[in-house]
Structure 1
Amino acid sequence: MSTETLAVEKREQIGTNAVRKLRREGKVPAILYGHGKSNEPLAVRRDALVRLLDSGVKLVKLQGGAKATALVRDVAWDAFGIEVLHVDFNRVSLKEMVEVEVPVKLRGEAPGVAEGGLLEFVTHSVTLECPAGEIPEELDVNVGDLHLGQAIHAGELALPEHAQLVSNEHDVIVQVSHPTAEEPEEVPAEGTEGEPEVVGGKRKTEEDEES
């Protein structure tokens, strides 16, 4: 996985008012932690952080107010998922084993679709354990041999060297399922439409009532 350089600055003031001021300046509060060192409050420009997150890069080299190789860990968004509110950076070494979530990318065309099936992309990412310097950007899944009624599970994914699957190996990644047949709507027999259900006995006829 590629590594991006991200400029950060030290955050001298903390608290609600300081954070609001920071956001008005187009910056996002951040924290750097890990490796037994003290937590470092930081700030990063919002536009630079958004570009980083959009790229999918997880490993960054922080420069400026702090110098460290770190993983992008927790990202807090607003209620609409539009604005980044906070980000956590975790110090790591390149050979350190870390757990990361890696997206899955489908490749090819499943013959099961031409056979009348529905292609269902069930699991879009999996969790791996691998060296921090060897995090894959994505995992490719070839569906070119996927026929009707078949599925590919997490345990069947081709993983990079030194990577291990943390997610459940039985999780379905993609499958070609049989389309659900719609049951035909029942048409009431002539003369019975609108009649109430008879519970506990037969319906009285006019002859019964007269007798």
Structure 2
Amino acid sequence: MFHREGQRIILITFVLCALLAVVAEHHVVSAPWRIGVQVAAIVVLILILQFFRNPRRIAPKNFDEILAPVDGKVVVIEEIEEKEYFRDRRIQISIFMSPINVHVTRYPASGVITYSRYHPGKYLVAWHPKSSEENERTTVVIRTPKFGEIMYRQIAGAMARRIVNYAEEDESVQQGEDSGFIKFGSRVDVILPLNSTITARLQQKVRGAQTCIATLPQQRDDE
């Protein structure tokens, strides 16, 4: 299954790769070069297909948990001063996606969208400390039943040039549902209240709509 944002690119790539393979078959005399061109065309098509793959994920929809919004690696867990919306101290969890990760963004919690903004910006590498504030990005805030308002940001990386965000203000959303897409390398920040219990670990590999990255404080106390 492939994401809808990749349908046009997949079709164009398929046509171009097919034409390249046909041209090589009829016009490249040297067999090694001909085979090399055709193999390269197939490899490019496979890479595009794997980038836009959209595996079906069924989230548990637990109001006591925040799920990872994307596949990738946790690269930052720190307390920050959130300046755009909350304007107070929060905990930030940053997940870096390499080009080989699934790039679908999914809602980390169920609730109502109270804020959704797109910000044009730079294309610093996704792990740069200032990428959260200076790169092209979207900011989405969800009012959840138990955590209050939480935020996530889609952040473009050095290769990414287009962020797709489906979140609309006043819309009710469900944990794990498709909320957007970032093309070709990126990062997503999740900003939570200070009293959240962080279950994610630095360098941990997480799966969107599957891996719990934070819980309510009392859940940890009950264990």
State the TM bucket, normalised to the shorter chain: under 0.3
Greater percentage in strand: 1
Normalization by structure 1: what TM-score?
0.23
Normalization by structure 2: what TM-score?
0.22
